[in-house]
Amino acid sequence: SPAAGQRCLRLAAGGEWQSEAVDLSFLGRFRVSGRVRGSGAELRLRYRGLDAFLPEAPVLALPAGEAWQDFSLEFGVPADAFDMLLCFVQAGPGQSDLDDIGLERLAMGSIIEQPAPKPTWQAAWIWHPELLDRDQHRAWFRHEFELPAQALREAVLQITADDGYRLVVNGIERVSTLGEMDGWRTPEWVSLGEVLRPGLNTILVEAEDVGSAQGLIAEMVAVFDDGRELRLQTGRHWQAGLTVEGPWVEAAELGRVPCLPWGDLVYRPMGLLGRARLELGRLPRRVRPGERLVVDLEAVAESAQTQPVAARVVILDGDTVLESSWGRELLFAAGAPAGSRARLSDIGIDIPFGLAAERLAVSAELVGATLSRPVDRHTLRLREDERTYEFPRAEVRMVSGVPQFVVNGKPVDPTQNLFTKPDALQQRNAGATSVPIWGVSLQELGWYETGWDYSSIDRTLASYFAAHPEPWIMLSFTFDTRYHRWWLQQHPEAMCQLEGGETVIGDYHGGRRQVPSYGSAVWREAYSEAVRRLIRHLRQTPWAERIIAFHPCSGISWEWFHWGSQSGELVDYSPAGQDDFRRWLRQRYATDEALRQAWGRGEVTLDTAAVPTEKERREPALGMFYDPLAQRHVLDYHDYQHEVVAETILHFARLIKEETGGRSLFGTYYGYVTHLPESPGFSQGSGHFDLRRLLEADEIDYLMAPVAYAWREVGGTAASMSAAGSFPLHGKLFYNQADLRTHWSHQQGHGKPASVRGSIACMRRELARNLAEGSALQWYDFSNGWTFGDSRLTAEAQRLFEAGRVRNATPDWPAEDYLLVVVDEEQTGAMSVFRPPYGGELIFRQREYLARSGVPHRTVLWSDLQRRPELLRHRAIMLLNLFHLDDDEAAFLRDRVMQDGRTVALVGPVGLLGPRGLDASRSSAILGWPMRLVDEEMALQASWSADLAGPWAAAAGALTGTTQAYRPAVLPAETGAAKVLATLVGGTQPAVLWDDTRAGGRVFWSAAPGLRPEALRALAESAGVPVVCRSQDAIYAGQGFIGLHASTAGEKVVTLPRPGAAVDILTGRRWPEGTREVRLDLQAGETVILRTTGL
């Protein structure tokens, strides 16, 4: 045997051998190789889809002969295949022997549109192999090469790095882009002729990764006087180091253009180029905006071609390129001889909208060759199109207790696909679904240093409508000046500042740059004018008739976060920021005397009041709380930080409603009140804790947040970032942005699954979660193709869309079936900015515990509980963070909430912080037990008793709370008739109390944060709230749905709140009327979504 019997088999007549399933999550091309002797052997490929085998089953014949022969069979796999079986079959008489059989993946599939054929990079993206999964670091790269002692005609290097780099050649720095945001998108063209020398030369690159992807790509050509060339490209033969001194290792190759996540990187051909002549075909003289021209090109090579040659058609206004379109094929291949002729037909290009010019020109350009003479320009006269288009009339209506979009009087499911940049493959895949709304991100807003130009916006919108003519469009854009840095340089008075006057401030994921102040009226008015002009331009285009919403953004990562909040910096000490804080103070206090009395400072005035110092803001006087008397100025600034963001959002909401005549929807990212309260620096710095103001505003239609960046893995619970239950109370829609890292993601973490089936499992969980919550889904993959580039995932999005059509046709359960979870967003400003309690256990992780409890629940704001009497119909209420209460709030809690036989659960030092400071008697008055103040650092971790009875028995022996120490706390001095469920770890101090003897209702209190699923189920049972499942899986119950996403394999028992009927909307499996218990045998990661009726 030529390979000593490795991976070998013998096929007798009629025999067959079948492999185990080969995972095809990443599609691509494969090669099966080995050795064979005999005749009649075949390789049959059987592809399996999500649930069944595909009809496509290729048969590949193996070589025949008595002697051993090598064979190598290459094939691509179908885009809808999930796995494959390799079947070797003896189809003819006799037998065949096979040996050393191997399967190799040659290339992964593509999830981005392959660019039109044209000259492109030969280099590979590279990075240090030990740093591929890290952010915020630097790496060094080195390459040495020899040059002969000959005269150079030219030497150039094309280079870029994500996120920035410094290039040193032979010890001389040539260029640096360190600190430039998104500078990698435009590679630098660097002349090296004056620094290269005969003999040994060294290229050294210091490259910086700020966040997300990292990579370096470079390509050099040196042309000698005799016409010879030396070419160099980055690849694994380059050396990579952790410092400038090394140690040096082989660089890791990350892929070649147009690989993810960088796509089709701009490239400029280098070196010696051939010459060619190019001519346009016949074209019309008059055109209308939006009309598509079809252009033919003819070319003649006037010399031998040294590189591949491509052509593109351009539309020009003067010398400005408004539109361009590449031919679908190369004009000439490298090496094409002189005299070669070529023709490109049917190149489509669209006439832009909104042009001031009456005439345009059409021409063409070569890439990879030089023109022997300029291409003639064909003049186009624009026909007048004076029609004004109108936006649809869009609104939010409540249907079956769930928000629904209505457009021009017809209901529209709010499910949405979001794109940040056009990609034809992703658009085609998304267009094959029925998802009715597409989010489209714009960049420069048509606003440039040279003036107003909407051709890029028109081109972007045209590409989406070419892929799918009838989506409803939601436009998003940002005011953060990233695309208008020239404007910020012209208006330094609009810049945000740190206390020391620095204007370069932390941005997203470690990036730093100059940024605008939220307090700047100049900034606000500049972008107001940009939005007005954009809307008026859009009304001149047919796109207006499909645009239903505007989604403006600003701040870090487009999410309105204050600058510096991710980097631990405090803003805003700019003159604009100081002045705007004083404006806010005038609204709050009106007079100098009122301000002096509140702040306790006799010298302060409304004209001299200043933003508190960093030291004051970083040092709460009462442990984890700020002193409401001595630090009122700090507390006021905290309030201002949230209100200025909300006010700015409302300013643009009113503007857009006015410009669209109230026809368009308005929404943005805001209100992460269940995700950020315990995030050091980021909670206060987010500016997100004035959600009530936006929910009560008529101009706001929806708000959005990403799915929580925790528990996203297969079998995890995921979670929403906001108090989603408050939105329908105000007739608003809440969007969960499912920016899932599918198996295609180049980023590790955030629950990235290993396979396409894992990606689908996470998508199904999101539908289950959102149906039970009454929220809407937005699918988003950063236009990297992680979702939309894979037709299997868009097919799943279509299945989920069809399954979820029942969201507005399913009766909700009564309020009595829910545990009402209450959070108070206004507590954030009262707590330590950089050490808020309690390490994530108070609200952040409580979301996971709730999802695993099987208890139907809704999360609302404390302000809604006070203002919405219908919420008091709930018979079980859990209040998580009511530490700072005024007298009216304390009375409402005691006299309204903790009455009527209700079960009320409270956590932590309830009411301890009053208008005048710490007062344990306030906690005593609310809780009904004498409480004592503990003003020292202590870890609030509780050990649950081992001998608990009744519903509490399931929690016996558990540990809850945090091992981190905080102060102050309150603890019971006496427990009265209450049962002690748990004590502080290491002692006998009661820490968790349960009192079911009171006339007004039952009270549960825990000094330790983070109620585990067992305790939540016991609370629910004590109040008569149903528990739908006890399996500790991810369980979502509400709005008439019960979703179960299995964390482990096995039998799961789901109990309906009352006997009724159920159907799994994913499979169609039904349970008849009168069903109370549903038994399911599930694999880990499997999801069931039960729609209940008749309950």
- pLDDT digit string, tens, across residues 330-387: 999 999 999 999 999 999 998 887 677 789 999 999 999 999 999 999 999 988 766 7
Q: Of 491-495, 743-747, 807-811, 1057-1061, which range is least confident?
A: 743-747
pLDDT tops 60 at residue 3: no
Backbone angles phi, psi at 832, to 5 degrees: -50, 130
- DSSP readout, 1030-1085? -S-SEEEEETTEEEEE-SS-EEEEEEEEEEEEEEETTT--EEEEEEEEEEEEE-TT
CA 440 to CA 458: how far, in whole Å? 12
Residue 967: C-alpha distances to residues 64, 174, 669, 833 (Å): 82, 55, 33, 14
| Residues 311-334: tens digit of each pLDDT | 999 999 898 888 889 998 999 999
pLDDT tops 70 at residue 673: yes
- Read off the pLDDT of each residue in 683-699 and give the average, rounded to a whole number: 97
CA 303 to CA 340: how far, in whole Å? 9
Answer whether 1089's CB lies under 8 Å from 1043's CB.
yes
- Fold agreement between 274-382 and 394-573+611-808: no
pLDDT tops 60 at residue 663: yes
CA 15 to CA 13: how far, in whole Å? 5
Domain 1034-1093 has CATH 2.60.40.1180: yes
Answer whether 789's CB lies under 8 Å from 743's CB.
no
Answer whether 34's CB lies under 8 Å from 99's CB.
yes
pLDDT for position 434: 95
| Residues 989-1044: tens digit of each pLDDT | 999 999 999 999 999 999 999 999 999 999 999 999 999 999 999 999 999 999 99
**For the structural domain made of 274-382, what CATH number should be given?**
2.60.40.770
pLDDT for position 466: 84
- Does residue 126 or residue 385 have the better pLDDT? 126
| Residues 461-517: tens digit of each pLDDT | 988 988 888 899 999 999 999 999 999 999 999 999 999 999 999 998 888 899 999
In terms of DSSP H, where are the helices of 411-475? 424-431, 455-467
| Residues 963-977: tens digit of each pLDDT | 999 999 999 999 999
Q: Of 107-111, 142-146, 339-343, 491-495, which range is least confident?
A: 107-111
296's tokens: 């033919």
**For the structural domain made of 394-573+611-808, what CATH number should be given?**
3.20.20.80
- Does residue 937 or residue 289 have the better pLDDT? 937
Q: Is the dihedral of CA 395, 399, 404, 405 positive or negative?
A: negative
pLDDT for position 327: 92
- Read off the pLDDT of each residue in 914-936 and give the average, rounded to a whole number: 97
Res. 569 pLDDT band, cuts 50 70 90 = very high
| Residues 21-66: tens digit of each pLDDT | 999 999 999 999 999 999 999 999 999 999 999 998 899 999 999 9
292-301 and 164-169 as β-strands: parallel, antiparallel, unpaired?
unpaired
Q: Which of 807, 808, 788 is nearest to 798 (CA)?
A: 788
Domain map (residue ranges) of the chain: 9-107, 124-256, 274-382, 394-573+611-808, 819-834+845-867+876-1023, 1034-1093
Res. 646 pLDDT band, cuts 50 70 90 = very high
The CATH homologous superfamily to which domain 9-107 belongs is Galactose-binding domain-like (2.60.120.260)
Distance of CA 897 to the CA centre of its chain: 38
Q: Is 838 helix (H, G, I), strand (E, B) or coil?
A: coil
pLDDT for position 934: 97
pLDDT for position 385: 64
Q: What is the mean pLDDT of the chain?
A: 95
| Residues 389-404: tens digit of each pLDDT | 999 999 999 999 999 9
Answer whether 852's CB lies under 8 Å from 1035's CB.
yes
3-state helix vs strand vs coil in the chain, percent to 5? 20, 35, 45
- Please, what CATH class does the domain formed by 819-834+845-867+876-1023 belong to? alpha beta
Fold classification of 124-256 is: Jelly Rolls (2.60.120)
pLDDT tops 80 at residue 182: no
CA 489 to CA 505: how far, in whole Å? 15
Answer whether 1005's CB lies under 8 Å from 907's CB.
yes
The amino acid at residue 248 is W
